[in-house]
Structures are given as C-alpha cells and as structure tokens.
A and B are shown apart, each in its own frame.
Chain A
Amino acid sequence: MNKNTMMLLALTFLCLSVSADTVIKTEDLGQLALEYAEISTVSSLNLPLVKAKISHKSGEAFQLIAPFKPQSHEVLVNNGEFVDAGTAILKLSGSEVHHFLEKYDSAKSLFSLAKKRYDSNLKLFNEKSISNDKWAVISENYFRSRDEFGHYQHFSELIHSSPDVDVILIKAPIDGYYLNSEPVNKLADESDLGQILPKASVRLRAYIGSAEAEQLIYFEAGGCHIEIDVVSQTSMGYFQEVWSKPLADDCELKYGQILRVTPYQTVAAYQVPKSSVLSIKRATYILVKKAEELIVTPITIKGAEANYYIVTSTSTLDNSRVLFTSVAAVQGVLMGLGGE
C-alpha cells in the first residue's frame, strides 16, 4: 500500500469515525507479525473486590434464653463451633440454678394441680353445675399455671440432668453453630445464652453499589462459588445489601469472617486479548479477521480480567478471530503514519 493510499484510508477513517466498518487488507500490512485469537463469549463480568461478611439473616438463629440469671455461665464449646442437637454446650451454676429448678418443680406441681382441677371442673361447667364466675377463676388459674410451667418447661427441655442441684447443663436444641452472646445479663429477668445457627442459614453478606447490585449473579471467594439469594430493595446510601444463598459445605469460610470477594455480574459479552484493542478519536475498536481482511469493529469495554477485556459490540463476533499483535502499527496505518 503506497503512502497516498494510506493517507486516503486514514482520512476516510477519521472523517467517518468508522460509522461503517473500515476494512484493511492483510496484504497491505507487509511483514508485520499478525497473530489472531479466537473471540470467546462470556456471560459474566467480574467487578472489583468488595468487602463481605459471613453472617446470617436476622431471625434465622435459634436463640438460647435462660429464664433466670445464673451466677456462673460456662460455655462448654468453642464459639462458632458446629454442634449436634443434644450436645451439652453450656453449664449454668449457682443458687439461681437451684431456685430455677425449685421454681420449675413448683410450677410443675401447680400446673398439675390446676390441670386436674380444670379437667374435673370442665365437665361440671359443661353441665352448668358450677357458676360462670367459679369457672372463670378455675380457668384463669389453669392457664396461668400452664404458662408459667410452659415457660420453665421449654428451657428445662434443654437441660441435662445433673446430680448437683446448683448446676445444670444446657444442650443444643438443633444442629448448628453455637454463637456466643454477651453480656449475659443483657435482659431484665432472663439471660441470653447464645444462639444456635443452622448450617443452612450461614450466608455471605456484602454491600454492592446500587448500579451493579441488580445484575449480580454470584460471588467468588477463595475458590468458592456463592450464588446470590436476595438483593435488598432498599438502598444504604450508595450501596445495596446483598445476601448470598447458604454457603456450600466445601466453602471453608468461618462465620463472622470478613473477606474480600469478587462479585460477578451477568453480561452478554465477548472476551478479547487486551493487546487487540485500539482507540482512535475516543472510540474503541478491535480488528476482526474476515478472510484476508481486517474489519475495524467498534466495541465497548465493560471490564477486564488478567490479559483480557470483556467487551460488547453492536456486531456479532461469535466464532470470529481478532488480531492481537502489531495492533498499534495498524492503528498507525489508520492514522496515516508510515513511510520515511
């Protein structure tokens, strides 16, 4: 290609700003090393690393509440340790434990009496043998004692029996991770003894920019592929809260862990080598090979990973090949450079 042809090509290129595809014959590129790469399609695009936390949604953990304030509160498992249902996880001791057991016993007796009285008077009431007022008192007494007993009974179901009247052992109600709570005396007449978090409730939580959050499809962290479950529909300033689906067993992530994760967006795009991209007059192009010609094809860069760009194009690039060597020289040709 002589200099005049190149100049003409350059002028055409610049004037039209490549509104129509500009074509360069490969034979005009002399001895320039011309190597081509397959353009592959991609469906996801990674965003920059974000901070994330292994956590759980509010309300998904089993709360362990003691109906009294024990003098001593010993955790028998490690915080965050996975425990099977029935495993002793806490040891409560002190006079309050004793008082609790006594209260439990008395509540149980009272409930037993009240129930017996209630059951025996129910028939009489149905036969209208006792007055309404009398029945009301019996019923009230029965339900109150049942509530009181129920209150103690739920907790007592978690208790392992112990020979020592001042000590009780608390067992895990379900399979899950035991999570410590502190301080113990946060509640007025009760004690927060921790939580048991079911495995299926352990998720990854991250805050993603509002513009990208809706298109997110998964996170990647330490080789762990984590699908998105829900994106909060309320914005927290610049971000939206994103929850993943429960973590898979093979994801070796610890509850409470803060980590960096790569969010991936859904995208219909192509992957091309970074060295295949050129820009002229603020527009970006690649050189797609068609037979013995290079088609100057406009693209939009959506993102980058390692040595590749993720790009979109108005042209269909499936099964195409793109020039990835000597691209800057071809750019020079398009700009009218070349010659002595």
Chain B
Amino acid sequence: MLDKVIQFSLTQRLFLSVILGVFLVLGFYAWKQIPIDAFPDISTTQVNVIIKAPGMTAEEIESQITSVIETELLGIPNKDILRSTTKYAITSITIDFINKTDIYWARQQVNERLLSIWDQLPLGIEGGLAPMSSPLSEMFMFTIENPSLSLTERKHILDWQIRPLLRTVAGVADVNILGGETKTIQFEPDHIAMAHAQIGIDEVHNVIKSVNINGSVGRIDVGVESLIIRTEGRYQSIEDVAATVIKNDSGAIYRLKDLGEISYNSLVRYGAVTKDGEETAQALVVTLKNANTSSVIDAVQEKLRQIEMTLPEQTQLNVFYNRKNLIETAVGTITNALFQAIILVIVLLTIFLGNMRAALVVSTSIPIAVLITFFLMYQFGLSANLMSLGGLVIAIGMIVDSSVVVVENIVSQLSKNANLPRLHLMYRATKSIAAPVFSGTIIVIMVFVPLLSLTGLEGKLFSPVAVTIVFAMCAALVISLTVIPVLASLIIKNRVANTPKYLLRLQSSYAKTLENTLAAPMIPIIIFIILLVLSGLVYMFLGKTFMPVLDEGDIIVQLEKSPTISLEESVKLDQQIETALLSNVSEIKQIVARVGSDELGLDPMSLNETDVFMELRPKAEWQVSSKQEIEDKIREILIQYPGINFGFTQPIQMRVSEMLTGSSGAVTAKVFGSDVNLLAELAQNIADVVKITQGSQDVQTTLIEGGDFLNVKLKPELASEFNLSVSELSHYLNIQVNGFKAAEVINGKVKTPFMFSGIAKNGGISSIEGLKQIPLQMPDNTTLKLSDVAEVSLSQGPAVIEREDAERFAVVASNVVGRDMVGFVEELQKNIANDVSLPSGYYIEFGGEFENQIRATRNLMTVIPLVLFLIVLILFTTFKSLAKSSLIIVNIPFALMGGVFGLFFSGEYVSVPASIGFIALIGVSVLNGVVMLSHFESVKYKSLNLTRLISNAAGDRLRPILMTATTAMFGLMPLVAASGPGAEIQKPLAIVVIGGLFTSTLATLYLLPILYYKLEGITRE
C-alpha cells in the first residue's frame, strides 16, 4: 500500500504538484477564514434563566420562583447539573447539559418548560432565557464619556442609539448596559388628593391601561380608495400623560395631574458603574456562542465608528476591554513561537544534514504540513487559539522527523551512486524506510489520541492541542511519503556532500565513550538510577496546580463590602479606592468599576460586590518589571481600606471560575441542607476547621446571612374592616418604595417607562419609622398610616441563597499552600468528620479546583496506561519480542525524570499541561528508542564482537536521534522563552518535553545500548 503511494507520487509528479497546490491554496484560505480566539470554547452546553422580581427577598424568590422552575427543569433530558443563585430581586438558574448536547435543542427544552409554568409564577416578574452566550462571550466593553451629559442621557444614548444598532451586527448576542439612570415618567400619587376625589390607585391604573392604546377599527371605501380607520390613544409625551382624564364627577374633571405630581425621574437602580472615580454608564457586547470573536469585534468597532459620528458633540466611546487585544497578543505570542520554531528547526536541519538542498527539502515539509493542518482544522471546526496553535508549535519539531528520515535515506542512497535511474533510487530509498516512518509516526499519534478522551476543562483545553498535533503528524506522514520524495527528486543532486566533519568527530567520540561505558556498565546504570530516585524525590516537593494562570493583561479586583450596604455608599467606597489606586499605581491606565447587577442580569452581583476592572498601560511605561509587582502595589493600597474583602482575578479567569464551580478557590466544601441559618452556622464551623488545617489560606465563607428585612404583616381584623388584602397592600407599598410600571410611553423607537412611584420626593422612605408612617389609601378611600393596619418588624434572612440540583448549600472556600491538595482534602475530611456534627439531612461535598485536579488526575491515570499499552502493542508488533519492547519501555522513566528536573529548575508547577507534556514525552522517547533498537536489530548478525557492533550501530543512529531530539527540543524553545500573554499554559508542557528529551536522549544513547548489550549477551550465551 505504502509502496503504491510512493510509486504513484514519483511517477505522477505533475499531478501531485497540482494536488499539493490545491491543498496549499485551501490551507491558506483556511488560515484566513479560521475563527481566531484566545481560548477554545471551554464552556459546557449551558442555558441560563434569569428572572427579575422587583422588591422580593431572596427567600421569597426562592420559594415562589426558583424552586418552581427548578422542579420543572430537574427532569429535563441530558441535564448534567442545575445550579441557582437567588438574591434580592433576582434569581439566576443555570442548567449545564452533558457534553455535546446541542445548544439550540437545550434552549428549546428549557424554554418549553419555562413557558409551561410561567402562569404559576408571581405577577410582575420579568425575564426568561439569557442570551445564547458563553462565559467567554463578554468580549468588548466601553463607557460613554461626555462631561456635559447626565447619567440619564448617557444611558439613554446607550439604550436607544447604540444598543439597537450593535445588535444588528452578526454574532452579537446582546449588548448589556450597566450603570447610568433609566429615564422614566413618574406619577407620584397625592394620597390626599386621591382620597378627596374618591379615586383609588387601581382605578387610575385601569384608566391608563384603557387609554394608552391605539386600536384598529377596519377600512372604509371612499370613492375609489380604501381608508384604514384606527383609534388613537397612545401617549406620546409627558403632557399626554398628565392630561389623562381619570374621573368625571358630574362635570368635575379629575386629570392625572390633579391627583399627584408628574415628572421625569429614573428607575430604582440595582447597580452602577464608575470610571476613574466618576459615575458613568457602560456597554458590554456579548457574542453568540461559537461566534468568530475577532470578526465580530471588527464589525462592532466598524459599527461604533459609524455611530460615534451621530452622537452629541464631545461624546467619546471609551473602550476599556477589547478581547481582540488579548487574542492578538496571545495568538501573536504563539505565532512568533511558531515562526521561531520553524527557523530554529531549519537551521538545525542544515547543521545536521550539512546539505542546504536536503535541508531545504525537509524544511519544506513544515509550511506544507502547517497549511494542511489549518485546512483540517477549518474543516473540523477548530478555531485558531492559544491551545490549537500551541499544539502546532509542539508538533513542529516532530513534523520534520519523518521527512528527515526519508531525505536522509535518499541522500545516502544517492551517495552510493548506484547505477540505477534517479527516480528508481528515490523510490527504493523511500520505500525502504516507509514502514518505520509510518509506525514511528503512528506511535506519536497514538500517544496523543487518548488525550481526546479527557473531560472537563482539561479536556476542552487540551483536545485542540491533541487534535492539532494529530492533524499535523498525519499531514507530515503523508507529505514525507509523497511530496518529499518528489521534491527530493527535483532539488537534491545525485552527488551530495558527505557527512559534516563535526558530526563525524561527534560520532567517533560517542562510539568511544559508549565502548567505555559498555566495558563498565554499572557506573552509568547506578548514576541513572540515582538520578531517577532523585527525580522521584524532587517530584514530591514540586508545587501542584490544576492549570497555570494565563496572563490576560488586565486586572480585576473583586471587592466585597458589608452585605447590607446601599448602592450610594458602595459607589462612594469604590470611588475612594479608585482614586487611591490611580494616584498610587502609575501602571494603571484607567479603572472601570461595576457594582451591583447588570441590566440583563447575566451577572447578578449584589450591591456590596464590585468588580474593579483595571486597564494597564503598555509594559514600556511600567515602573515595575512584572504584573505580579503591580498586583503587589495594588494589594498595598487595598489593605489600607479595611472592612472590605478583595481578591484578584482577570476577565476570562473570573468567568471560567464561575462557570465551572459557581465559586472560586482551590478547595471548596459545600454543605447541603434546608435551613439557611443552620447552613450558615455549619459553614462557619467548617471554616473554623479549614483554618486550623495545615496548608489552608484565604479561607472564605459565603455571606448567606446578613440580609436585613422589614416584615410588614397585615393586622387581619383591621384590614378586613377596610377590605384590604395582602396583595393590595403589597401593590400599594411597592409603588411607594420601588415604583410600579404602569405603562410605556412610546416615542419612535424610544420607550419610556411610565411609573407609579412614591419616591420622587425626599428620596423615598429612609427609616423604619418612615415606613410605619406611610399613608395608605384604603379601598374605601379613607387614609390610614401603615402602622394602623400592619405590624412592621425587622428580621434577618439570607442575602443570597445558592442551590445545586434544588438543594440549598453554603460554601467554604480555601486556597492551599505548601502541601499537595489531595492530602489537604483528606486531612480536612477527617477533621470535619471529627469536629463538625452534621444534623440529619445535611451533608458535605468537596469541590473547587481540587475537583478538577482529581478528575484530571483520574483521567490521566486512565490515559497513561492506555498509551503505554498501545505503545507496547506497537513495539511488540515491530520487534516481535516482549523483552526488546521492554528495553524501550524502560527508557520512559528516564525521559520523565528529565521532565521533573525541568519543572524543578524552571520553578514551574506540576499541572495539566505539564502532565500532557509527560505524555508527549513518552511518544518522543519511545520513537528514539525504536530508531536505535531497530538499527541494532538490523545489524546484529554482522560478524563483529557485540561491543563494537553496538557502538558502530549506535554511532550510525547518532545523527537521526540527535536530529529528532534537538528539532523537537528547539522547536519548543520559543515557547519556553516566550513571555507574552498566552505562553504560560504551554510553557510547562514545553519545559517537560525539553527536559525529558534531554535525559531521554542520554538514556537512548547510553542506557539503551547497555541494556541491549546485556540482553543480547544473555541471548548469545
């Protein structure tokens, strides 16, 4: 089969060239078209339901909304996990579906169920399915700046000028508006006037509903024309609203303006945005899941350029987050590494082959393989991102291996100057090494294929790496057996230069040292074993983490203040901190802080929570050398503001963390149960235990307690006297405290809410006494105070209720320092079992990053034996001997040893990418072993003594082994040297492979011959 392919290639060179040209064009096209992103899509199929229930407490929402919806959604097919977070006035319910579930199907399922129970939910709620985005969809953010515009005007522009236009951009799921004030037309009922006119608020509302409509009547024919008739009543302006006739009492006309005050006002705010200490409004562009982020951002920016020209003078759209910057930086880092790797590999090939033409032929395989890989990525829907491009960089050193072997053999065949036709020589040279090339490449592919079985975040991150490497290796294999012989036939001359002198000297020195080693094999064996044991000890002390943190460039500081803080005070504290940071940390270009909930409710933060987004200046302008030092400077400032918790994160990191666990922290202990107070108490007890467990740091407990509520309980015997029901009272108070949307005034595309509200004057009710004194217009139009008909009492309730699969839980999160996470959790489990007694029905689950690491370890522990089994299978098929296969397998620990030392000396942690590096190392080290051992086997029947036979054979293989090892190592060097954002994730992988290849090459060059010598010696005896 392989022979036929090679023969066809060499005989149909023109046809092959055409096919190659087509693939190159397609590859180039794919490179231009392929979606570019920072990360692969790591989100699960997730559907988010957001319901806003103005004025309702967390407990009320939980019982009346969250649990109703959850019960309905629990039975949904393909559901993986159901989580919810309920806070004051909002609930966010998230359903994770099992992998590969179609997002449209999932949304349809959720929507159908939601609609079926909507009628059971309380009146006045708003919301539904959140836009079809992923946690990484927040890709473009900007504020609107113009000192002459008020907050209301800024939001108005965002709401009605910018948002509708940006939503027309393909790929934009929604535009989330944060901060600012929403303009309303407000009617503040004058209870005295209303009572005097004998008009109730419901009567007013009913009149407004019946008036504020345009009705369709029909058509009449007038002459030859048909005229449409309609009735017109819709409000167009505040004057229309004010002039509404509410009652005509025998000629005494009561208009709305007679019954209260009508004015422009703004909606009650649930969040705010500050920029550099001044309040403003911001827009956040959310992309659709699976959209091409780069092209969407380009289109958004183009649209904004058009919009900006239509905005009021001096208005600027201040972009403070553009995901494309990160994409360009990260992809740029990787692309640079890719080009550097290509150049390094070509230089190495030239040095090793000592022949520019041969080096050129081999080097050609790189761009061809890369372009074909892009073509395959495009066809299989892979985006170009940190991981997939990283995979390509890793593959560069291995791509050339098969071509090196082919070209080297062609060169040696040609140098023998056999009296055969040139093409035939080429054919014979290629055909003779086709099988080992094929099996060697298959071994490498086999190593990476099991990585596709990884699940969770590590699976989503590293599958693209594995797939890209597999694509690249497949392309390299095909190229080496088809294109390379053809190119060699066209480029390489019959007479070629001999082996470079330095290589001959190297071979000679190597043969001598090997002979000496074979003469006294125990010394090197002992050295290898000592190093191996040492590496085992070093491994024990290596830091372990799930995933290195990607430097996204920007910094987010999350602030947590007193749970009952008001929005105004929360903003004031944010402003203090922003001002301090800007004046003390010169590296910060601008700060945009967001407190409370956004308009869509995609991230329902409480009023005490702030995300302080810091855009940093270009690195050249920094006074410090690293981002860590900037964080230290920020930390120094923040510590000066006691009473406020803070934590560092980054835009994507924050969202990924929330997506995966709903909470951040290396280890989280979730205690499940029904009673919130008991959960809070248990969480506190657990937190105390966590604090005394060795290795814990930054122990935090969710503030589920701390919500103060005023309970208004109707006095039933008095209320019945006036026919006042709880719902009427609730409705009335809602108007007084929060406002009630009675209608909309539509003017063109602008819709202005028309609110009944009692908060226009004096800023509303600001004390319990004030609430008690609130005048109530009773159904019989008498006026009483609230305290006359209801008891008002202060009580405490949960500020936030979190649930997982419909069960309440409280979380204690902790980071772990100075010890391994698994050991920490085991000790913690023991301590909790001893010190915390759980009532019946309460239980604890451990999670967090630890959960990811456990899962990743479990997956890797499944993958590695599988990889080893496949390798043994291939080796056994190749050598037909288990003993000889074992000689190569023995090489593996010595390869891993180098990886461990690499991590130790570089200060990197053992992480998922490092583990992937170890797996890759297995493949490459085995490949070298195969190259060496197969040659021993091919020459073993020569009539030479065993020592000379082995040293000669090993010397023969020195060049290919050094070539494959060094090309792989130098191919990865740019990744190690890279410092820009994006390099962090691939760096541990590269370090492991480089370190491992170093020791693996030594083991292949010295240990393997020793072991073969011993084995063959026994066989010969």
A332–B784 touching, CB < 8 Å = no
Known: A28-B642, A338-B644, A338-B645. Contact between A329 and B573, CB under 8 A? yes
Interface flags for A124-156 (1: CB within 8 Å of B; 0: not) read: 000000000000000000000000000000000
User: Is B205 in the interface zone, CB < 8 Å from A?
Assistant: no
B767 engages A337 (CB within 8 Å): no
Q: Give the distance to chain B from A326, nearest Cβ to Cβ, in Å.
A: 7
Do B773 and A309 touch across chains, with their CB atoms under 8 A apart? no
Assess whether A329 is in contact with B767, with CB atoms less than 8 Å apart.
no
Q: Which of A47, A305, A337 is the one whose CB lies under 8 Å from B644?
A: A337
| Residue from B195, B570, B643 within 8 A of A330 (CB atoms) | B643
| Cβ proximity bits A309-340 to B, threshold 8 Å, 1 near / 0 not | 10000000000000001111111111101111
* 8 Å CB interface, B638-679 against A: 638-648
Cβ–Cβ contact A301 & B643, under 8 A: no
Contact status of A31 and B580, CB under 8 A, knowing A328-B562, A329-B642, A337-B561 = yes
* Nearest chain A residue, comparing its CB with the CB of B697: A340
- Whole-angstrom distance from the CB of A256 to the nearest CB of chain B? 13
- Output the least CB separation between A310 and chain B (Å): 9
Given A30-B640, A340-B635, A309-B196 contact (CB < 8 Å) = no
Chain A: interface residue count, which band?
35 or more
Q: CA of A327 to CA of B576 in the docked complex: distance in angstroms?
A: 13
In chain A, positions 237-279 with a C-beta closer than 8 Å to chain B are 238, 258, 260, 274-275, 278-279
B774 interfacial contact with A, CB 8 Å: yes
Task: Give every chain B residue within 8 A of A275 (Cβ-Cβ).
Answer: 568-569
Taking a contact as CB atoms under 8 Å apart, the answer to whether B641 and A329 are in contact is yes
Chain A residues with CB under 8 A of B774? 48
Residues of B near A306 (CB, < 8 A) are: 762
Q: Tell me if A304 counts as interface (CB < 8 A to partner B).
A: yes
Beta-carbon contacts under 8 Å, B676-701 to A: 698
By beta carbon, the residue of chain A nearest B784 is A238
A47–B773 touching, CB < 8 Å: yes
Given A30-B642, A275-B569, A282:B794 Cβ within 8 A: yes
Asked if A15 is an interface residue, CB under 8 A from chain B, the answer is no
Nearest-neighbor residue (CB-CB) of A48 within chain B = B773
A6 interfacial by beta-carbon distance below 8 Å: yes
| Partner of B640 from A6, A31, A335 at Cβ < 8 Å | A31
Centre residue among B192, B643, B762 by max chain A CB count within 10 A: B643
A209 in contact (CB, < 8 A): yes
Tally chain B residues at the interface, Cβ within 8 Å. 50
| CB-based nearest B residue for A238 | B788
Give, as a whole number of angstroms, the nearest-CB distance from B889 to chain A.
Answer: 47
Nearest chain A residue, comparing its CB with the CB of B570: A328
Q: B640 contacts which chain A residues (CB < 8 A)?
A: 30-32
Q: Please name all residues of chain A whose beta carbon is closer than 8 Å to the beta carbon of B493 when the two chains form the complex.
A: none
User: Could you tell me if A282 and B796 are in contact, using CB atoms closer than 8 angstroms?
Assistant: yes
Quick one: which of A305, A326, A334 has the most chain B CB within 10 A? A326
Would you call B646 and A340 a contact (CB within 8 A)?
yes
Residue A188 lies at the interface, judged by CB distance under 8 Å to chain B: no
User: Cβ of A274 and Cβ of B562 under 8 Å apart?
Assistant: no
Interface residues of A in 14-46 (CB under 8 A from B): 28-33
Q: What chain B residues lie within 8 Å of A337 (beta carbons)? A: 560-562, 643-645
Residues of chain A within 8 A of B637, CB atoms compared: 31
Mostly, the B contact residues are mixed
Judge whether B645 and A30 touch: CB under 8 Å.
no
CB-defined contacts of B570 to chain A, threshold 8 Å? 328
Verify if A94 is at the interface (C-beta below 8 Å from B).
no
The answer to the question of A230 belonging to the interface, with a C-beta cut-off of 8 Å to chain B, is: no
- Cβ of B565 and Cβ of A328 under 8 Å apart? yes
B785 at the A interface (CB under 8 A) = yes
Cβ of A28 to closest chain B Cβ, rounded Å: 7
Determine the chain A residues whose CB is within 8 A of the CB of B440 once the complex forms.
none
Q: Which of B192, B570, B775 has the most CB of A within 10 A?
A: B192
CB pair B769 A279 closer than 8 Å: no
A187 within 8 A of B: no
Instruction: Determine if B770 is an interface residue (Cβ-Cβ < 8 Å).
Output: yes
A207 to B: closest C-beta gap in Å: 9
Asked if B572 is at the interface of the complex by the 8 Å CB criterion, the answer is yes
A331 adjacent to B643 (CB under 8 Å): yes
Give bound CA distance, A260 to B191, whole Å. Answer: 10
In the assembled complex, which residues on chain B have CB atoms less than 8 Å from the CB atom of A328? 561-562, 565-566, 569-570, 573, 643
Q: Are A302 and B642 within 8 A (Cβ)?
A: no
A306 to B767: give the CA distance in the assembly, Å: 12
B766 within 8 A of A: yes
Q: Kindly identify, within residues 782 to 815 of chain B, every residue whose CB is under 8 Å from any CB belonging to chain A.
A: 783-785, 787-788, 794-796
Contact flags (1/0) for B186-211 with A, using CB distance below 8 Å? 00001010011000000000000000
Known: A47-B773, A301-B769. A338 touches B642 (CB 8 A): yes
A29-B642, A30-B640, A331-B562 given; A326·B196 CB < 8 A: no
Residue of A nearest to B576 (CB): A33
User: Residues 573-598 of chain B: 1 if any A CB is under 8 Å from the residue's CB, otherwise 0?
Assistant: 10010001000000000000000000
* B708 within 8 Å of A (CB atoms): yes
- Please give, as numbers and ranges, the residues of chain A lying within 8 Å of B638 by CB-CB distance: 340
The answer, yes or no, to whether B873 is at the interface (CB within 8 Å) is no
CB <8 Å contact, B647 and A340: yes
A211 to B787 CA separation, bound complex (whole angstroms): 10
Query: Is A51 an interface residue when CB atoms closer than 8 A count as contact?
Result: yes
Q: How many whole Å from B940's CB to the nearest CB in chain A?
A: 65
For the complex, give the distance between the alpha carbons of A323 and B190 in Å: 36
0/1 interface trace, chain B 703-719, chain A, CB 8 Å (1 if under): 00010100000000000
Residue of A30, A50, A238, A282 touching B641 (CB-CB under 8 A)? A30
> A335 and B562: CB pair below 8 A?
yes
Asked whether B641 lies within 8 Å of A32 as measured between CB atoms, the reply is yes
Given contacts A209-B788, A329-B573, A335-B562, contact A279 B641 (CB under 8 A): no
B642 in contact with A304 (CB, 8 Å): no
A49 within 8 A of B: yes
- B906 interface contact, C-beta 8 A: no
A325 touches B645 (CB 8 A): no
Tell me if B768 is interfacial: C-beta within 8 Å of chain A: yes
A48: chain B residues at CB < 8 Å are 770, 773-775, 785
A279 to B766, CA, bound (A): 13
Residue of A47, A49, A329 most packed against chain B (CB within 10 A): A329
Whether B576 lies near A304 (C-beta < 8 A) is no
What chain B residues lie within 8 Å of A302 (beta carbons)?
769
Q: Is the CB of A301 within 8 A of B767?
A: yes
Residues of B with C-beta under 8 A to A211: 787
Are A32 and B642 within 8 A (Cβ)? yes
A156, chain B: closest CB distance, angstroms: 41
A303 within 8 A of B: yes
Neighbouring A residues of B572 by C-beta, 8 Å: 325-326
Shortest CB–CB separation between residue B6 and chain A, in angstroms? 63
CA distance A6 to B645 in the complex (A): 12
Question: Which residue of B is nearest A309, CB measured?
Answer: B767
Q: Do B643 and A332 touch (CB < 8 A)?
A: yes
Beta-carbon nearest neighbor of B761 in chain A: A49
Q: A274-B766, A328-B569 are in contact. Are A6 and B562 (CB under 8 A)?
A: no
B123-164 near A? 1/0 per residue, CB < 8 Å: 000000000000000000000000000000000000000000
Q: Known: A258-B196, A274-B766, A282-B794. Is A329-B644 also a contact (CB below 8 A)?
A: yes
**Residue of A with least CB distance to B773:** A48
Q: Which residue from chain B places its CB closest to the CB of A52 in the assembled complex?
A: B192
A residues near B644, Cβ cutoff 8 Å: 329, 332, 337-338
A to B CB contacts below 8 Å, 6 in the list = A29-B643, A48-B785, A238-B785, A304-B766, A337-B645, A339-B639
By a beta-carbon cutoff of 8 Å, the part of chain A in contact with chain B is 1, 6, 28-33, 47-51, 209, 211, 238, 258, 260, 274-275, 278-279, 281-282, 301-306, 309, 325-335, 337-340
Rank and list the top 6 A-B pairs by shortest CB-CB distance, nearest first: A332-B643, A30-B640, A329-B643, A333-B643, A31-B640, A51-B192
Beyond A47-B773, A279-B564: 18 further Cβ-contacts under 8 Å? A6-B642, A29-B642, A29-B643, A31-B637, A49-B192, A51-B192, A211-B787, A238-B785, A279-B708, A301-B767, A302-B769, A333-B643, A335-B643, A337-B562, A337-B643, A338-B643, A339-B639, A339-B646
